[in-house]
Amino acid sequence: MSTIIKIRSIFHGSNLADYAEKKQIDGKSIAFEVARSDDLYGLTGKEVVKEMHENNRIFQKNMKNEFIAVELCPSEDTAKWLTEHNKWDEYRRMFIHLFSKRRDNDRKRDFKANKYRFRDYSLKNRQFIAFRHLQTTANEHLPHEHLLFNRVDRKGRTMDDFMLHKRAKWVAQEMDRRLKIPNAEERQQSAKDHIKAVCDQIMRTILPKQFSWNVLAKELAKLGIIATPVSKDDTPIGYRLKYGERDYKASSIQRDFTLSRIGRYQRKLYEETNKNQKRDEKTRTRKRNTGMDPRKWKNGR
């Protein structure tokens, strides 16, 4: 799942602001204000919308849709990362920056002036207010944000609302590309790789030549990995390894981690380690006896 951005021009700004500010699930409020432009002072969303209306009257703007409504919905992985690293403000600013960026296909033919001009899609220098919802439904805890922009900026220029959804799709793809947040599969593979590396290190250096399940489980626990045996009819059939919030079937991490294979796998690692240690010791002995000149090693001098 990737970022989804819903955007449209609307005329009922007060209704949206009221919804975004007061949304409840099971009688519990899940909405709160997170940002607004510096020149808005209303205590409620509706009061803020009134201030936007006043700004538009100053410039004598009379249009049907005076507001731009945005719903910024990151993927589950992105939302978790934004919350853990407190990056929601940067995420919102990135959206505003990318949406406002001028692109080649923003050009529009002005037939009266007989020339081309760029459509104004800039969200900068506009009055806005933003609310965050901590979840979407009672069963889906996915944080997202609602933003309400005034189409008329502080200089009286009106934002274009032509094909906003296509521009939003490009912005969402660009945000995902720039963030490079690992998805669930990538995080899961990273955890499995870590577990395998830890198990291999323990079996190479700590376990005795004969495999011992109890020693392995004890050493793994010291490093934050919980090994839990799995039995069926009181007969051990395998085990699971838990790291962080998730646990994994041992065979999904490494085929040789099954109960029938792990003993042979451990002996293989143990023998490889011993062989390498003996070779390294022999090399060190030669260096001490002959100095650092490898040409003398061959003749044993």
Residue 71 CA, chain-centre distance (Å), reads 18
Handedness of CA 205, 207, 213, 215 (dihedral sign): negative
Residue ranges of domains in the chain: 4-181, 185-296
Query: Considering only 49-58, 78-87, 103-112, 258-267, which range has the smallest mean pLDDT?
Result: 103-112
Residues 185-205 have pLDDT tens digits of 777 888 889 999 988 888 887
Q: Give the Cα separation of 225 and 86 in Å (integer).
A: 27
Residues 70-121 have pLDDT tens digits of 999 998 888 988 998 899 999 999 999 999 988 877 777 665 556 677 788 9
Q: Give the Cα separation of 173 and 137 in Å (integer).
A: 25
Q: Name the β-bridge partners of 238.
A: 230
Kindly list the distances between the CA atom of residue 74 and the CA atoms of 36, 60, 96, 132, 142, in Å, as whole numbers in the listed order. Answer: 20, 37, 15, 12, 8
The overall average pLDDT reported for the chain is 85
Residues 10-45 have pLDDT tens digits of 988 999 999 999 999 988 999 999 999 999 999 999
CATH assignment, 4-181: 3.30.930
